[in-house]
Amino acid sequence: MVDPSSRSGVITAARHALALDSTSAESSEAWFELGLAHEELLQDSLAEREWLRAVAVDPTNVQALSFLSGHYRWVGQPDRAGILADSAVALDPVNVLAREMAWQAAAARGRWDEVERHASALQRAAMGQPEEFAIAGLVRARLARGDSAGARALIRQAVTVFDSTKPTLHQAAFIGASLAAVGDTASAVRWLQAFQPREDLHFQLHVKRDDGLRWTGGRWGQGIRLPDPS
């Protein structure tokens, strides 16, 4: 992971590990990392196969279950995504990734009570500190219920806490998506442009696949959405 714009080192290391052991529960992490690298390279079928292997050798791998959920949501299978996210949450109810994928799967199916439940659980786990995954879920739920004023108030409060000049990868992606959702696309662009390095493949994965960032495929996304990896 030394070079955020390449996954060759990750793939080489994971394949080396799997050549030594590909069937024990301990190999699940290598299968997961290999799948993540291929998903970030937009090689969906490889990622799916490798994450399925990760779960097959260790059904308790919450990361693999969660990312597999995200994968199915991205490729238009929200019901399957929901089943996997629910399994991840059941295994680890305080896992941030599991809860985030659970509210996203619920949003893809229009289940706004579930979105709010999972996002609220994330916020409670953050011990009162603003949490970008939770904020994004709560904003989506309020907008879906017609509470645009409440959604705007929530995101206004959030942007005063995070550093908009040096956001983390997920702050840029999720706060950016939330700002765009309430109609402030100009601010969303500033948040996304502030993240560096912009060629980070995981950042680009969010930009290209997240529902809330689809608009970056148009004129607003110039300089943010980069060409697909070759």
| End-to-end CA gap in the chain | 18
Sign of the torsion formed by the C-alpha atoms of 136, 138, 141 and 144: negative
**pLDDT of 69:** 98
**pLDDT of 92:** 97
* Residues lower than pLDDT 50 in the chain: none
CA max distance for the chain? 56
Asked if residues 115 and 103 have their Cβ atoms less than 8 Å apart, the reply is yes
Q: Look up the pTM and report it.
A: 0.94
pLDDT in tens, 63-95: 999 999 999 999 999 999 999 999 999 999 999
Nearest to 85 by CA among 30, 49, 122: 122
Token output for 43? 């090689």
Q: How far is CA 183 from CA 4, 209, 214, in A?
A: 31, 20, 14
Sign of the torsion formed by the C-alpha atoms of 160, 166, 171 and 177: positive
**pLDDT of 128:** 65
